[in-house]
Amino acid sequence: RWFALFSSLDLAFFFKQLHFLVKRGVTLYPAIELIRADIGSRSLGRPMDILLSGLREGNSFSEILFSKLQVPLFITNIIRVGENEGSLVNSLEKASGYLQNRIELTRKIQNALLYPITLVVLGSGILVWIMTQVLPSFKLIYEEAGVQLPLPTRVLFYLHAVFVQIWWKGPLVLVFVSGTLFFLFRKELPFLISKYVYRIHLIGTFRYYFSVMNFVSNLGSLHGSGMSLIQSFQLTLSATHNLYLKSLLRNALTKIIEGSKLSMALHEAGFFPAIVIKMIMAGEESGELDQVLMQLTDYLGEEMDVRLQRFVALIGPLSLIIIGFFVTFMSLSFLLPLFRMTGVIRHV
């Protein structure tokens, strides 16, 4: 994700460098000056100048990040807590760690999905090329030879005829249906999409674990920075983008404000897995909720890694089977009529 002037990667790098310098006794302004003089990324130059200018004017670090650099409120509040409590070093470490974990998780998901997406795109391109360039030439040859076509070839020619007739109609129908649905359900549609996106096979599972881990990680980072549970929950809610999950969390927040425990409010939401509820309940009873939330973040990250590895292990053989079937079908469709034509020529 890109912020207004920072990329996630640049912001994580900046916080990491700043944490290193501040931890070793360099004050904030000179530390940013050193990073500004040493950076090799041009994209960081302008934000550094804005930060230095704002600090010279007397603005707080967190205020500049939020108002002038438009860094999300969730991250700037972690920094603000550190400024107010004199623990900026810890806040910088938490913000850097949070961004690095997000980047790493996003990269893992992208890498896992890269192979099947590439396969689908290349396969679709090759199929369109065969249908538009190769198949018509073979069809003409077979018609002129008057050879009886086997079943695979007849099926392929039928698919070609259908493709020729509807290739331009399909996108129009899709656009028309999508536009109609959007017009009729423009208020309900975003909510329904955000709800049923979790039910998509494989992709929905990754999305679900990502959402749960993101919530637990955000809540743990904010609450561990010294904020009250309600403040931490409110900021975590503001950082949640899925409308369906946001509505569930909003109801849970209302119950927490009314006096309900976090574990009970999340349990009644009906979204979170049982192990998350039980571990949060244990953290509440032991008074170590912060540590439990961070442990849950690690657990959910490992669980997602396992599922990603299973997905990659499954998609490889499955892709080979699909490609093998496709190659076999196309080979039979093209070669069987040629064999029959050879037999006819020999008899002649």
**What b-and-e string marks burial along 142-168, b requiring 16 or more CB atoms within 10 Å of the CB?**
beeeebebeebbeebbeebeeeeeeee
CB-count exposure of residue 184 (10 Å: 0-12, 13-18, 19+): exposed
Q: pTM score, two decimals?
A: 0.68
- Split at pLDDT 50, 70, 90, the class of 348 is very low
Of residues 167 and 244, more confidently modeled: 244
DSSP string, 156-177: HHHHHHHHHHHTTHHHHHHHHH
Q: What is the mean pLDDT of residues 84-102?
A: 83
Query: Residue 241 contacts by C-beta under 8 Å, 6 or more apart in sequence?
Result: none
Q: What is the mean pLDDT of residues 91-96?
A: 86
Q: Write phi, then psi, for 65 (nearest 5 degrees).
A: -60, -45
* Contact in structure between 59 and 45 (CB atoms under 8 Å): no
Q: Which of 192, 195, 196, 173 is nearest to 184 (CA)?
A: 192
Specify the pLDDT at position 177: 80
Tokens at residue 250, please? 């909003």
* Contact in structure between 8 and 99 (CB atoms under 8 Å): yes
Q: Locate tokens 């039979």: which residue? A: 332
Helix (H) or strand (E) holding 242: none
Report pLDDT digits (tens) over 209-234.
888 988 888 888 788 777 788 988 98
- Alpha-carbon distance of 179 to 171, in angstroms, equals 12
Q: Locate tokens 């961070």: which residue? A: 294
3-class SS of residue 7: strand
Query: Residue 255 contacts by C-beta under 8 Å, 6 or more apart in sequence?
Result: 264, 265, 268
**Angle in degrees, 0-180, between the axes of helices 88-129 and 73-85, rounded to the nearest 10:** 170
- Split at pLDDT 50, 70, 90, the class of 85 is confident
Q: Among the residues of the chain, which ranges form H helices?
A: 8-23, 28-38, 45-56, 61-67, 73-85, 88-129, 135-145, 151-166, 169-184, 189-196, 203-224, 229-238, 243-257, 262-269, 274-286, 289-347
What are the distances in angstroms from CA 184 to CA 177, 187, 188, 189, 337?
11, 8, 9, 9, 51
Q: Tell me the pLDDT of the chain averaged across its residues.
A: 82
* Contact in structure between 197 and 204 (CB atoms under 8 Å): yes
Please state, for a pLDDT cut of 90, what percent of the chain lies above it: 15
